[in-house]
Structure 1
């Protein structure tokens, strides 16, 4: 028996064997060629989907992250959904024998699967109904599997991508819950002496995402010219699961934006620019009085100059909403991200068209803006219909 060994990118060693020396050498050379080309090391035959996905997450996606084609947070999100919702259900299926019928059955299984987030029962009341995985989560799992199988097809491990033959459930983005003018007035009146108040106003005034606002540095702002450069986002990056403790170790990091369109120079409303000037003065006083200040460059920082933990921003926002009594039906909260929706709604109310709103929110596709803000699109259509009705009425009057 002739045996050869190839060291894989993750440090593991993969053996090959044959009773024929020439065939063993051919196998070894082919395997080494796959390693050199960065291809997943599987033949496809007899390989389970679980084995292939593990290779895809740990090698292929890590290479995409290293090449700047994918964020590490996205890779970890893919890994979590593979571990929770793909491998337990269809991981034992052979990669080459995976069929559309099996994937349809898998999707039905996910649609009946309980969500990990269940409402806690209240003593003395009936137990709340069981929450199932959302259509958006099921759709996301299908997208992940489709991407993995597409990579397998490109690597010639499968002849077709069966996930493309199966339609996932609709996974529509949640519609934003905009604040009314009265709610915003109450909120900002309560936050006028709060260190977080300027953060909320900046997110609203510029239509920023939470992470984009938390990553802002003073060097990004030109308050005299009234412009700001935005794009990078402060996020908590989850680390790998520690096998010994079962926990993750995460770190705060500023990551680049998902798309080139997210990087932009925005105009700062004059009233917001004045608020930011006062905030800079207040922060300078706080910095001088502090015994320790970590970073003098952040626009929004803790009392010692460190970056603000995104979850702490969420807690502060929820506490403010609870304090002034702003809620939504079905016990839903108004989120920080809803300030961004509020910005879009207010712009629309001032007569700004959807294309301009797309630019303000820095969506790459107009379809994204229209999907998220469907209610605005409907209003535009009603406004157009009313204008046409007025024109037709005038014509009808002249005809008489």
Structure 2
């Protein structure tokens, strides 16, 4: 019997009957997709290998996880979990061991080091708190699976607190910056893409996956659905390289699949853009996919990284300043959409619907600064009422 990871498990016993019982138990574990144990204590590395190749692949097949997420888990396990913890037997893991591991991760240099500016001393960038938090979350999820398989009595990762790992707050364009940006984008084939992301608060991948059949410009509706992403492939054992591919993947949440109202101004822009694209397609010798709204000059899907490059070039032309040495991102158009909606007097529930977040808490966490503004306005209103009472 060959396991998904290519290994051949064995059982042994001086008693033939016991050996047969062990073999039956082994076959049952394989059929159930449970981690393989052959009487010996399972190490964390052995368990995680089975977890990635069996349990997570079953979750992908069941539509409970994307393949890109499974590969991301596998990468972080290979780079940050197994080297430090892989040799520990599952039952021997303790909260103290995991706290020491997290502390070392926080002191570990990142694979991506910033290039020093001229005249500056090079500095070592460490793993972000978000990465450390992600590694802890992966281990906690894996140990929950081990606990369900009755390999361990408790999940020690639940007893250890990782760094907060909070995402950096997005940045919103000012009206003046937006005017400079779209003036610089005039005549650019990318301009309509940027306008669509801003007007509808879309994610980059969602915008790149839009098809004309998803749009009803007369009714002013767009059905937002899957996302175009570059999906990472497995690492080639011989070359050490990874081959990826463009793929249309499921939305982040069910709430992401939703009809969105298209502003009339954007509908007019998209109608004109469709006429231009039709003329371009008819003049082209080859056009791969006539259904894509945003495509290359030969009708193929747009590589997300090329969209990033085009965006960075536009920001440079428009002289959009960096904040804390960080470029303005495409995703910040989504933040701009939320901020502008808020300035127009829309509440957080309305913004949640516009951004298609499944939970209001998600919207509130990301746009805490907007929530504070709402609370300030409420406090100011109460201040007026209290002042009126004091004047009596």
TM range (shorter): over 0.9
TM-score for the superposition, normalised by structure 2: 0.98
1:64 aligned residue? 59
Instruction: Return closer, same or farther for 1:336/1:32 CA change in 2, 3 Å cut-off.
Output: same
CA contact (8 A) 1:44 1:96 kept: no
Partner deviation per Cα, 1:100-145 (whole Å, 9 max, x = no partner): 000001111111111122111234x122432111111111111000
Instruction: Return closer, same or farther for 1:383/1:15 CA change in 2, 3 Å cut-off.
Output: same
Q: Does 2:194 align with 1:210?
A: no
Residues paired across the two proteins, number:
392
2:313 aligned residue? 319
Instruction: Return closer, same or farther for 1:255/1:44 CA change in 2, 3 Å cut-off.
Output: farther
2:127 aligned residue? 133
| Aligned mates of 1:83, 1:217 — CA distance in 2 | 38
| Aligned mates of 1:340, 1:117 — CA distance in 2 | 26
CA contact (8 A) 2:253 2:358 kept: yes
CA contact (8 A) 1:111 1:134 kept: yes
CA contact (8 A) 2:116 2:123 kept: no
Q: Does 2:368 align with 1:391?
A: no
1:365 aligned residue? 359
CA contact (8 A) 2:5 2:50 kept: no
Q: Does 2:94 align with 1:73?
A: no
Partner deviation per Cα, 1:3-36 (whole Å, 9 max, x = no partner): xxx4434554212121211101100111111111
| Aligned mates of 1:120, 1:47 — CA distance in 2 | 43
CA contact (8 A) 1:145 1:163 kept: yes
Instruction: Return closer, same or farther for 1:376/1:354 CA change in 2, 3 Å cut-off.
Output: same
Q: Does 2:156 align with 1:162?
A: yes
Question: Which of residues 103, 119, 139 is equivalent to 1:108?
Answer: 103
CA contact (8 A) 1:44 1:158 kept: no
Q: Please report how far the alpha carbon of residue 176 of structure 1 lies from its aligned counterpart in structure 2 after TM superposition.
A: 0.6
Question: Which of residues 371, 376, 383 is equivalent to 1:382?
Answer: 376
Q: Does 2:17 align with 1:32?
A: no
Partner of 2:230, secondary structure, is strand
| Aligned mates of 1:42, 1:210 — CA distance in 2 | 44
Give matches, 1:49-60, under 5 Å.
Answer: 49-60=44-55
Partner of 1:17, secondary structure, is coil
TM-score for the superposition, normalised by structure 1: 0.96
Partner deviation per Cα, 1:255-294 (whole Å, 9 max, x = no partner): 0112111110000000000000011001001101111000
1:3 aligned residue? none
Q: Does 2:197 align with 1:200?
A: no
2:278 aligned residue? 284
Q: Does 2:219 align with 1:225?
A: yes
CA contact (8 A) 1:222 1:228 kept: yes
| Aligned mates of 1:267, 1:220 — CA distance in 2 | 12
CA contact (8 A) 2:139 2:157 kept: yes
What RMSD, in angstroms, separates the aligned Cα atoms of the two structures? 1.2
Give matches, 1:38-49, under 5 Å.
Answer: 38-42=33-37, 45-49=40-44
Partner of 2:124, secondary structure, is coil
CA contact (8 A) 2:215 2:222 kept: yes
Partner of 1:335, secondary structure, is coil
CA contact (8 A) 1:95 1:158 kept: yes
1:95 aligned residue? 90
| Aligned mates of 1:271, 1:128 — CA distance in 2 | 48
Partner deviation per Cα, 1:336-385 (whole Å, 9 max, x = no partner): 00000000000000010011111111111111111111111111111111
1:344 aligned residue? 338
